[in-house]
Amino acid sequence: MSAFKAYDIRGIYNKDFNKDTVYRIGYFLPTLLKSDVVLVGRDVRTTSNEIFTALAQGINDSGADVWDIGLATTPMVYYCTVHFQVGASVQITASHNPAIYNGLKVSRSGAIPVGSDSGLKELEQMVKEGAIVVAQKRGAIIEKDGKSPYLAFLKKFDLDLDSLNLSIDCSHGMANLLVKELFGDEHHYLWDHFDGTFPAHEPNPLEVENCEDLKRAVIANKSDIGVIFDGDADRVMFLDENGRFLQPDYVTAVIGHYYLSREKGRVLIDIRTSRSTSEYLLQNGAEVHTWKVGHAFAKNKMRELGAIFGGELAGHYYFRDFFNCDSGFYAAMIVLSVTAELKRKGISIASFIDSVVTWANSGEINFKLEEKDAAMAELHRRYVTEAKPTTVMDFDGYRIEFPSWWFNVRKSNTEPYLRLVVEAQSQTELEEKVNELSAVIQSFK
């Protein structure tokens, strides 16, 4: 079934999955997760209500209850999973994907993600082959208030924004549920009403064109920083006061500045993360651990390590203080707190980032390839077997390091791409290595 992915169930609704698939997912989920209650939230996409109806019917037909928290950010569902002590939860969302997509993010007790290696494969098998027998005593749908306890939790963070001039792009998405109650009305807001067709721009702030409105607003309003949320508000990204997009792995250093000035400990980064960031974290007392890309992998590794926080190039930030989960609002509060602290010292967020960045970085480059495995094997032959790298990591594609440069190449878990990140100590060497590696990869098109 094409909607079952590595981290969640996601695809074009009525093409990759439909009402019947969702009903069957609902029916078998309580059995898989051994829970007689499933907490369900949903985003503002135009198909989310229809999906909720089918999912709830399936859950109820199995004999389990649905605790319906209504419109929710994905992190709000994580919070409520723990707060209400339920054994299973689902957020209906396709996160940052275009409007025609939708999906389901599944968690078990403790807001632990259910990924392909921790239950989704079994669920897919049950959905394909399992028999439906409607329970003699069907479950019920019970409405719950998830917003109030989540908002109360976030408000415990003592955030003083009085000194900051902010421009905030809510992407017509779920950030609108909470943003003004957390940050106040007086900032410059863009697309701050719900619209599941996302008319202004796609709800994916990683794509530069989706940040153009915010860039104009930051410059026009002379803002200290720009903030942009994705569709379900599990991710957040930032522009500096000049309207420059801040690469999310550099933002990990900003979050590091906040935490490491308070305590030293373990920090998790993904295999694509800049050495500028890892070196900054090490210099400030972190024990840095590198791991696979993806929220299910990251959350499990966070728990295993007892890490203080973690950051990914895709703009997911994970927090021990938030059940090892990602939250766009929690990350934003920390970054805004640091921005205010720096401003009091006369330092802008741009100059702080410039002081962190010591390596020239390519960003993530995508190659649409048929022969991904052959390209990966050739890169391994050239740069591991024949060359003499200082370090090789092979748990998510390869990260191959040399004294003055490194690269990571990996297959996307969600799209038909080979993804490449290159970094070097000089811009000249970076350009040379990007060209060299691109030529090898493109020979397999």
Phi, psi of 108 (to 5 degrees): -105, -175
pLDDT computed for residue 1 by the predictor:
58
Which amino acid is located at 438 in the chain?
S
Task: Give the DSSP H or E segment for 48.
Answer: helix 48-61
Question: Confidence band (pLDDT; 50, 70, 90) for 429?
Answer: very high
**How is residue 192 written in tokens?**
């701050």
Question: Confidence band (pLDDT; 50, 70, 90) for 445?
Answer: confident
pLDDT computed for residue 46 by the predictor:
98
- List, in order of start, the domains of the chain with CATH numbers: 9-149 (3.40.120.10), 247-326 (3.40.120.10), 360-442 (3.30.310.50)
Strand partners, 229: 236
pLDDT surpassing 80 at residue 11: yes
CA angle 93, 96, 101 (to 5 degrees): 55
Task: Give the tens place of pLDDT for each residue, 171-213.
Answer: 999 999 999 999 999 999 999 999 999 999 999 999 999 999 9
pLDDT computed for residue 296 by the predictor:
86
Average pLDDT, the chain: 97
pLDDT computed for residue 389 by the predictor:
98
Contact 82, 111 (CB under 8 A): yes
Question: Integer distance in angstroms from the first to the last C-alpha of the chain?
Answer: 26
* Alpha-helix residue ranges (DSSP H) falling in 347-442: 349-356, 372-380, 427-442
Contact 66, 84 (CB under 8 A): no
Mean pLDDT of 43-61: 99
21, 85, 141, 146 from 42: Cα distances, Å: 17, 19, 14, 12
Question: Confidence band (pLDDT; 50, 70, 90) for 412?
Answer: confident
**How is residue 67 written in tokens?**
């605790």
Task: Give the tens place of pLDDT for each residue, 222-280.
Answer: 999 999 999 999 999 999 999 999 999 999 999 999 999 999 999 999 999 999 999 99
Which amino acid is located at 126 in the chain?
M
Contacts of 284 (CB under 8 A, 6+ apart): 256, 257, 260, 261
Contacts of 270 (CB under 8 A, 6+ apart): 249, 290, 291, 292, 293, 298, 311, 312, 313, 396
pLDDT surpassing 90 at residue 395: yes
DSSP string, 345-363: TT--HHHHHHHH--SEEEE
DSSP string, 177-232: GTHHHHH-SSSEEES-S--TT--SS-S-TTSGGGGHHHHHHHHHHT-SEEEEE-TT
Task: Give the tens place of pLDDT for each residue, 255-269.
Answer: 999 999 999 999 999
pLDDT computed for residue 177 by the predictor:
99
pLDDT surpassing 80 at residue 399: yes
Task: Give the tens place of pLDDT for each residue, 213-223.
Answer: 999 999 999 99
Helices 349-356/248-260 angle, 10° precision: 100
> CA 403, CA 225: separation in Å to the nearest integer?
35
Q: What percent of the chain has pLDDT over 70?
A: 99
Phi, psi of 3 (to 5 degrees): -85, -15
Task: Give the tens place of pLDDT for each residue, 295-321.
Answer: 888 999 999 999 999 999 999 999 999
Place of tokens 């970054």: 335
Question: Confidence band (pLDDT; 50, 70, 90) for 36?
Answer: very high
Taking the mean position of all CA atoms in its chain, how far away is CA 57? 29
* Alpha-helix residue ranges (DSSP H) falling in 105-192: 121-129, 147-155, 179-183
The answer to whether the predicted template modeling score (pTM) of the entire model surpasses 0.85 is yes
pLDDT computed for residue 414 by the predictor:
66
Task: Give the tens place of pLDDT for each residue, 323-337.
Answer: 999 999 999 999 999
Mean pLDDT of 90-97: 97
- Give the active site residues: 95
